[in-house]
């Protein structure tokens, strides 16, 4: 039997949904059709791909390798379709971009020029953890990502630095730190803090800076939502450590000040990553060209929020 593209699509859908019926629905086929297609794929390759059982149990070791190739092949097919989809040679398609929450305030500086230069394109921006961005690039569900470059390992990607992330304490003006012009990380650890959850790389970076200052941080509130942090700051009684770029998202409020954190004077590199492939997909290549030529500006905030 001959391997078909639709059989690879069935396999990738099953990996994503981890359920035969849901995978079939995602592919707009019946469950018997999906199961038969995967069986035909196994027969054409001569390997067992899916662990047998009434329910989905996972993939065999050989199946995991086949799945990796299926994702790459489907990614190449998608790129080919985008290349030939418009006769006049203009770039067409939707760029799928994963962005860490702390960089969301800066992404419009790149997506705006990208869509202006390529008027037949559109962009989907997803707020994701750095781990999810790496996974999305690996399985071809993302075209590009904006994430930290120098804190945790990045695999099989081409990085383009965009800016350095610096940190500020956001705290009540009437609180114990409200009158300071700067504050050591060690002293900030003693405040009632509201921080992102440890699954976010921004939090792991912040924890590292506290450790470097000889402090252990024990936040009163943890959340994966920037809005939740901001509502606790607005309500009063809490402080937070936020990147300067993120302050543009939360805005400003009476009664709060932003204070530079020192000892250490810490920063992290944030940049664009695209899969390290030759050739890159047309959308990834076009967005990479924008990132290499358009400067991303992250202005330092005034100490007192209005």
Q: Higher confidence at residue 83 or residue 134? A: 134
Write out the two tokens for 223: 């959340």
Mean pLDDT calculated for residue range 164-187: 93
Provide CATH 1.10.10.10 ranges for the chain.
5-84
Provide CATH 3.40.190.290 ranges for the chain.
165-267
Question: To the nearest whole percent, how much of the chain has pLDDT over 90?
Answer: 47
CATH number of the structural domain 93-162+268-293:
3.40.190.10
pLDDT in tens, 150-174: 878 898 899 999 999 999 999 999 9
Architecture of domain 5-84: Orthogonal Bundle (1.10)
Burial (0-12, 13-18, 19+ Cβ within 10 Å), 166: middle
pTM over 0.85: no
The 3 state secondary structure assigned to the chain is CCCCHHHHHHHHHHHHHCCHHHHHHHCCCCHHHHHHHHHHHHHHHCCCCECCCCCCCCECHHHHHHHHHHHHHHHHHHHHHHHHCCCCCCCCEEEEEEECHHHCCCCHHHHHHHHHHCCCEEEEEEECCHHHHHHHHHCCCCCEEEEECCCCCCCCEEEEEEEEEEEEEEEECCCCCCCCCCEEHHHHCCCCEEEECCCCHHHHHHHHHHHHCCCCCCCCEEECCHHHHHHHHHHCCCEEEEEHHHHHHHCCCCCEEEEEEECCCCEEEEEEEEECCCCCCHHHHHHHHHHHHCCCCCCCCCCECC
pLDDT in tens, 232-264: 998 888 999 999 888 866 555 678 899 999 999
Provide CATH 3.40.190.10 ranges for the chain.
93-162+268-293
Residue 86: pLDDT band with limits 50, 70, 90: low
Write out the two tokens for 241: 């450590």
**Residue bearing tokens 């559109």:** 122
Q: What is the pLDDT of residue 78?
A: 72
**Cα separation of 90 and 76, whole Å?**
19
Give domain 165-267's CATH number out of 3.40.190.290, 2.102.10.10, 3.30.300.250, 3.40.50.2300.
3.40.190.290
220 within 8 A of 237, measured Cβ to Cβ: no
């Amino acid at each position: 039997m001959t391997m078909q593209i639709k059989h690879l699509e069935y396999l990738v859908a099953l990996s994503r949904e981890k359920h035969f019926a849901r995978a079939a629905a995602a592919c707009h086929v019946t469950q018997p059709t999906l199961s038969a297609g995967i069986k035909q794929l196994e027969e054409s390759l001569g390997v067992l791909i899916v662990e047998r059982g009434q329910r989905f149990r996972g993939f065999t070791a050989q199946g995991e390798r086949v799945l990796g190739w299926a994702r790459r092949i489907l990614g190449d097919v998608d790129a080919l379709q985008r290349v030939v989809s418009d006769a006049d040679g203009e770039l067409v398609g939707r760029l799928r971009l994963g962005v860490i929450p702390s960089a969301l305030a800066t992404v419009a500086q790149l997506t705006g020029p990208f869509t202006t230069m390529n008027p037949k394109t559109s962009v989907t921006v997803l707020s994701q953890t750095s781990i999810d961005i790496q996974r999305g690039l690996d399985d071809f569900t993302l075209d590009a990502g904006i994430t930290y470059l120098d804190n945790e390992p990045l695999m099989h990607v081409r990085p383009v630095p965009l800016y350095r992330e610096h940190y500020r304490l956001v705290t009540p003006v009437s609180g114990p730190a409200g009158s300071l012009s700067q504050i050591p990380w060690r002293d900030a650890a003693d405040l009632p803090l509201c921080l992102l959850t440890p699954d976010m790389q921004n939090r792991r970076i912040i924890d590292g800076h506290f450790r470097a200052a000889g402090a252990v941080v024990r936040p009163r509130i943890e959340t994966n939502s920037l809005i939740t942090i901001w509502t606790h700051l607005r309500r009063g009684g809490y402080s937070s450590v936020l990147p300067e770029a993120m302050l543009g998202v939360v805005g400003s409020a009476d009664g709060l000040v932003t204070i530079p954190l020192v000892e250490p004077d810490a920063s992290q590199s944030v940049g664009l990553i695209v899969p390290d492939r030759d050739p890159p997909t047309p959308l990834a290549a076009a967005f990479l060209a924008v990132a290499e030529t358009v400067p991303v500006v992250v202005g330092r905030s005034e100490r007192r929020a209005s």
